[in-house]
Amino acid sequence: MENLKTGKFFGQTNQTIHLDFATITDTEYTHDKVDWHYHDTAYFTFILDGKVTEGNKKEVYNCSAGTLLFHNWQDPHYNIKPKGYTRGFHIELHEGWFTAFKQGYDQLQGSFEVASPDVKFLFYKLFKETKINDSLTPMNTEAMLLEVLGTMQGSQFTNTAQKPAWVAKIRELLHDNIARKFTLTELSAILDIHPAHLSRDFSKYFGCNLGEYIRKIRVQCALSLMPNANLSLTDIALACGFADQSHFTRSFKAFNGVNAMQYRQLLSGQR
């Protein structure tokens, strides 16, 4: 089984940034299949464009744009890429830095998908920061990575046995019907809980109110569609449930700090 050293991925790496605490790569996947292998360090894979299937000893992930995976060091996995362009953004955490962070934590084991919209927004910001790549990039990147790990500890690993059944159900319902305009009454009826109960307890499990969460996952959906050159910004706005491009533009900038056109240019490599 091949052991990949830090900064090494299968494909064409377009950018590598070496920092004291992490190594960051922007890679185009060119191999149809990559056999079982493992990496020297714990790292994140964030799919910016295209599709890839990744399997480990426990699960298989069908990854598309916007999928975020965490892999602990020396956790074996394989990859299968369908025809077409696929691009991944990787952040490898240097052992000493990562060990210092996770002392006292035992949850960051194996490989798993990170579902939190807040963590994914941080990865889009991390990607944007690497394209700026100036004297402030190391500090900003380290701060955001610490925020990523802290957010994961607070949300990703909350004991699911302690969550009521409606939490998983509403997450699935909202993500599977991204453009649907639900009312609070409708959602409460589907979940069989009182509207006041849903309104009061939603933020306990999602870190924000219901409307803010829907806006987050709609912007996140738009980010995953950005690389598709066949879709206009209006097409993307409507596909993700925004009333029009104006509403989409305001929400997009609020979450990402740049407008949608600027971010699309960033993804395409234009400056």
Domain ranges of the chain: 2-156, 160-268
Could you tell me the fold of the domain covering 160-268?
Arc Repressor Mutant, subunit A (1.10.10)
Report residue 107 as tokens.
């949850």
Mean per-residue pLDDT, 2-14: 84
Report residue 172 as tokens.
């699935």
**What pLDDT sits at residue 270?**
47
Which pTM was predicted?
Answer: 0.85
**What pLDDT sits at residue 157?**
46
Number of H helices, E strands in the chain: 10, 11
Q: How many whole angstroms separate alpha carbon 269 and alpha carbon 247?
A: 26
**What pLDDT sits at residue 138?**
94
Residue of 221, 171, 213, 170 whose CA lies nearest to 192? 170
- Given a cut of 70, is residue 97 above it in pLDDT? yes
Q: How many whole angstroms separate alpha carbon 151 and alpha carbon 145?
A: 10
Please state which of the four CATH numbers 3.40.50.150, 2.60.120.280, 1.10.3720.10, 3.20.20.140 is assigned to the domain occupying 2-156.
2.60.120.280
Percent of the residues in the chain that have a pLDDT greater than 90, as a whole number: 59
Radius of gyration of the chain (CA): 19
pLDDT in tens, 116-175: 898 999 999 999 999 888 899 999 999 999 888 888 876 544 445 578 999 999 999 999
DSSP SS3 for 254: helix
Report residue 122 as tokens.
């941080």
pLDDT grade, residue 7 (50/70/90)?
A: confident
- Given a cut of 70, is residue 194 above it in pLDDT? yes
Residue of 31, 104, 98, 41 whose CA lies nearest to 75? 41
